[in-house]
Structure 1
Amino acid sequence: MVEASGLKAGMVIMLDGELHSVASAEHHAGGGQQGGAVFAKVKNLKTNHAKALRLHPSDKLEDVALEHKEMEYLYTDGVAFYFMNPDTFDQISLPTVTIGAYERFLQPNMRIPVQLHEGEPVTIAFPPAVDLTVVATPPGLREHETSTFKTATLENGMEVLVPQFIKEGDTVRIDAASGKYLERVRREARKP
């Protein structure tokens, strides 16, 4: 059990018999007759619906520790995404709504940590950023080299705005949640 005042983003709690991920939690101190309150935003891990909660700081909530198991992404059939345990070769599926916006970054044979509760898959623990290769982009404009962006097509077919110095074949880091360019990934030169 955890008190509402101890909630932190990323925690998983049980509400009304369903697992919820805490997206944010803010503690507001009260004054006078107005007592303190904790305002939390949570997302249902099964349905992906978000809701806001107003809790008393001493309210008790059931926190849940999820087991992490690295699995290999296999394929999707439009209804669910299928993953395989590389040790046992057992396959599990997660509904499309659970994967959400991360769908565009999943590639066959990619290893992803899957979060399990009591042996049942709940969601994936997708990394905050993904490295992808640029497959098509126009040449940079010299006079606008630092201040403007151009469109680049990535290996997964996604289009993203990148700085003028990015060229075809470069690897770029993309924020998985927003789909925005973060930085160019420099490859270390191999020493002979």
Structure 2
Amino acid sequence: MKGEILRAGRPVELKDELLMFAFGVYRDTGGAYPALEWVEEKPSPDDFEGFKRVYEPFLEFRLKDEFDELYILRENGKITGTVALIYTFQGKDIPWVPEDIKNGRTGLIEFLMVDPEHQGRGYGSELLNFAVRRLGKLGRDAYIVTFPELEAYHYYIRRGFVEVERYGDFVLLRFAPNGLRA
């Protein structure tokens, strides 16, 4: 194991640290992720204040009202990776998730990120495998909403996810071990 994956008891208390972490990923991906697809003029990957202005309210919403569970991977006290799970949809406004999968069997893997300095070392696989196992224990089918142009799309396909649906800018993937079609 690369580090210990721990559940965040009060995710909103980590907002400032998570904001800096997400900005590091945004900067490293040249502004590709987080996608900020709802923002007309995305901030430069070097503009923390611009990123904070648009992403902080969204992050706070996700931490308070959207994520059912948030897990943090730390190494030497520093966040090296994150993954969140969403498996209750009642009363939540999550417009980027197709209505037909918002049921008692669906579990979404969200907020899967690895610190740029730690990418390529297995941290993402560790977090993804953890999330799939956790959702399985909860009796949920693992889904991911992503963008087809991201490198992450191909990463998920190589790890057993299959494309279920394309809609708008998004692609819905479902974990299907052994390449079984969803």
Which structure: greater strand fraction? 1
Which structure: greater helix fraction? 2
TM-score (norm 1): 0.29
TM-score (norm 2): 0.30
Higher relative contact order (CA 8 A, sep 6+): 2
